[in-house]
Structure 1
Amino acid sequence: MWSIGELAGHAGVTVKTVRFYSDRGLLPEAGRSAGGHRRYGPEALDRLRLIRSLRTLDLPVPDVGRVLDSEDALEDVVAGQLRELGTQLAALRWREAALQLVRDCPAGERADRLRLIGAVSAPPSTAALARFWRRWLPPRLPARVLSAVVDQAVPEPPADPTPAQVLAFARLHALVSGPCTGASGVSDWQPAAHRTGGGYRPAVLYEGLGEAYALASPDLRAQRQPYDGEALDCFVAAYARSRGTRDTPAFRRELSGQLAADPRIDLYWQLAAELYGPSRPTPGAAHDWLCAALDAGIARSAA
């Protein structure tokens, strides 16, 4: 049986350290001396060395206790620490890019950039962007459709951002957090083509638009000029089916006029494009490409 000082000496730690872990139940005593002093068996040395190893990895004391109580807990504890460390590293990379952005900008722009960056957490949250789209989309969309649209429309912040991407996300956050300039409410942001009368089925529209955007994406990545094809037919059919009508030349002319008059959120998609990168066209870019294809097809028919 070892005294607390003897155990500390064998382990190469201070008496204070042994007492700390004993008081928190991580290092049980084997007994007490006649004078009431703590006594430890040789197995306490292995347990103390394990505690020190776990603490060297910065595991919190409660997590160390979980591992000591059950070896199966080690995998979960390590996984949790890796997730936390990943978040911390992402925050550091974001802060580094933000500092570079402030350092390298003209002096006259620093106050504005500091204001934009200061409104965004590090690492940034996309909650404000998701809330914006849930307000902007038609009410009573099925949860499945709503989730799919929000997933496509909300860009994830890059894990290792450039200063330009930090600025783009900060501007995007400011855009969706501020009022709709020149509009009486959020509903005014909804395109007129999406706010038709009775019988309108928005779920049919947004499901079809997602398919059309996916079909148009390869052409966008290849930088092809807009043209008639499967993507455009799918695009027009989505609008037609959502209104219970057919895809006809007259309907295409009507749809073209409505889409041309829409209060498009071009700035949102321009900023989002900097976060998506060139390999992933935004839904806004796909929409513009399909609108251009629609207009070109109508012009050819008229000629």
Structure 2
Amino acid sequence: MNGDTLYSIGELARRTGLTVKTIRFYSDRGIVAPTDRSPAGYRLYDTDAVARLDLVRTLRELGLDLPTIRKVVDREVSLPEVAAAHAEALTVQIRVLRLRRAVLTAVAERGSTPEETELMHRLAQLSEAERRRLTGDFLDAVFGGPDAAPVFAGVMRSMTPELPDNPEPEQVQAWVELAEMSLDPDFRSVLRRLAEYQETEQAVIETTGPRRDIAAVVRDQAGPALAAGIDPASPQADPVVAAFTAHYAHLLARPDDVELRRRLAARLESVNDPRRERYLRLLAVINGWPAPESLAPELDWSVQALRVRTQQ
């Protein structure tokens, strides 16, 4: 083959794998112009046309539009510049598709109503700034806003979702569900009560010295009893209950009486609200953290044990 070789449109189609109709279309658009014409007036193309058509086919398969392709093959713009711009556009498209997939998956799994579907779609489309505002409003409602106690600064950071720039579908689904939960006034009230318990306890701790978190103490005391099959209402449970109520009494600098045990039961019920555990699990998915340990069995056992012993 030499540089003077010319191909008819049919020969060019066989060499490139494109149809005659497609090559004619590109030729009419000036993307691959004919080099000459035969005596009968048919278009003829040189060897450069083969390379141009190969490039055009590749760029089309990558999703570039014809005006852009023409600029590339005519060297009006460089291929790297076009590739970078197109890659950025595809990144946006991929993010949008992931969001749509996440919403549709959630709708299918949860059997959502049209109203719920619309809300999920809106939540999935929020910008980073809008997500931060929604989260900030939720945490302010729970912890007291600008007047929040200093002890809550770390807790608030640990409860803040950080959806990555290129989230996985399960992270988007988790964000949508978490955002819905954060809009629930009843859930906010549950966490607000828990924050008030913690604030009261912290005020005492500041004067008496640090103490272990009561939920951790209950877990350590109730866990073995639960594993041993001890009924929370049985006399065998009395020493276990006495151990963690004594710790709570010491934490609050109060006597271990019926009122303290009722307060502790209410405190543990707030911690054990299934929505709180669900929030933390969703948060772990969004932020890429390990799944949190569930305290539900130990807390259930402890609340039952306290309720039995405070009934009058």
**Is TM > 0.5 for Structure 1 vs Structure 2?**
no
TM-score by length of 2: 0.43
Q: TM-score, normalised by structure 1?
A: 0.44
Q: Which has the higher helix share?
A: 2
